[in-house]
Amino acid sequence: MKLAVIGTGYVGLVTGACFAEMGNHVVCVDVDQEKLVRLKRGEIPIYEPGLGEIVQRNFARGSLEFTDDSKAALDGTQVAMIAVGTPPGDDGSADLRYVLEVARGLGEHMTDYLVIADKSTVPVGTADKVSEEILRALEVRGVDIAYDVVSNPEFLKEGAAIEDFMRPDRIVLGTDSDRARELLSELYEPFSRTRDKLIFMGVRDAEMTKYAANAMLATKISFMNEIANLCELLDVDVENVRKGIGSDPRIGFSFIYPGCGYGGSCFPKDVKAIIGMAKEVDFSPIVMQAVEDRNQLQKYRLVERVLESYGEDLSGLIFGMWGLAFKPGTDDVREASSAVIIHELVKRGAIIQAFDPAAMTTIIQEINAEWVGEKVLLCADQYDAVKDADALILVTEWNLFRQPDFLAMERSMKRKAIFDGRNQYDSKRLREQGWEYVGIGR
């Protein structure tokens, strides 16, 4: 089957590459000329394990193309997938300008029946707006061409996107069209060999499903962070509480690890979007607003703990920081806690020595670039980051940081202090060894 994927960001590139890997002919469309040149050279603009190999392999054999020519991309295409960004507006609601621009372009260039699938995370009712844009463009051309707009949200985890796409736990498809349903069933058949993973529903239902899924996971994180903060005041170790409640199969262990807040391109944006959708229909999103509020406060929790130990004036103090990305397995630093912590400590006079296996370049976009090299030092490895440090701040739980050489750290650091933003270490053992240990809810 021939597909067009419009947008070569995280979702678009993974989607296009994986469909090509399964034998389809995929044309990825983007307006960013520099990115297209890099992709054709085999350079991947995002950090995602395994993606580079798939892109390079399928580009070499001709099953994956990159172009800025939307009209040519639609020639013989049966399914066009919209995978452009939907950044939050000033009020937190999703900005649909790029989605609707793509819809207009499809209406201007399509020549035969086409299924248009929204892969971008979009508010309820977006498919109707996309359909209207396409219809207006067709009317301007004076042509009558059949098409169906469906909702096909992605459920990819950064750092495991290839595995999630190739072996999905579910494939949500929102459509009322039998013709579109038949075509999409054929397209996704190779991904459902062991069992039927296709879940068909109404278009608006599918649009809401993506938001509800991310909001539920974000809620679990904020709930556990709130419990952790309460545990600190009650002299309770939240790690024992986590094990106690996670053993209940109705709750489970996923997403109940306390920390310094969630970030990335999905949870923060989608929670804000749900709040925006709710307010548009005069509904008070009490729970979602609490999830958002707790997460914003949680990003400052490690800063508060540092200030409790060192005071407001941090002049002359050096803090090693392990982890900059919002989670392991990615270089994504959007809405990352690391940026908040760096800003708050540096403005109080501290020097940050940071290391991350993937996000050393991307973090510069999220902090004051003038600080880099003077107030924020990007180090060669994790042990360089703690040299002469007054404390270590763990922000991202990369595997590399799970079992560090504490003896080497002790010899290198000025003060044996750890602020563990992900509760990675054995607090009792470290305290017995003379370390000042501060965790989240511990």
Q: Which residues are marked as active site?
A: 266
For residues 193 and 266, the answer to whether their CB atoms sit within 8 Å is: no
- Which helix (DSSP H) or strand (DSSP E) does residue 149 occupy? strand 147-151
Spatial neighbors of 127 by CB under 8 A, at least 6 apart, are 118, 149, 150, 151, 174, 203, 204, 207
**Distance between CA 102 and CA 105 in Å, rounded?**
5
Rounded Cα distance, 29 and 211, in Å: 26
Gyration radius of the chain's alpha carbons: 24
Tokens of 22: 């399964």
Q: Are the C-beta atoms of residues 26 and 16 closer than 8 Å to each other? A: yes
Spacing of C-alpha 302 from chain mean position: 22
- Are the C-beta atoms of residues 356 and 398 closer than 8 Å to each other? yes
Per-residue 3-state assignment (H helix, E strand, C coil) for 300-356: CHHHHHHHHHHCCCCCCCEEEEECCCCCCCCCCCCCCHHHHHHHHHHCCCCEEEEEC
The answer to whether 341 and 307 have CB atoms below 8 angstroms apart is no
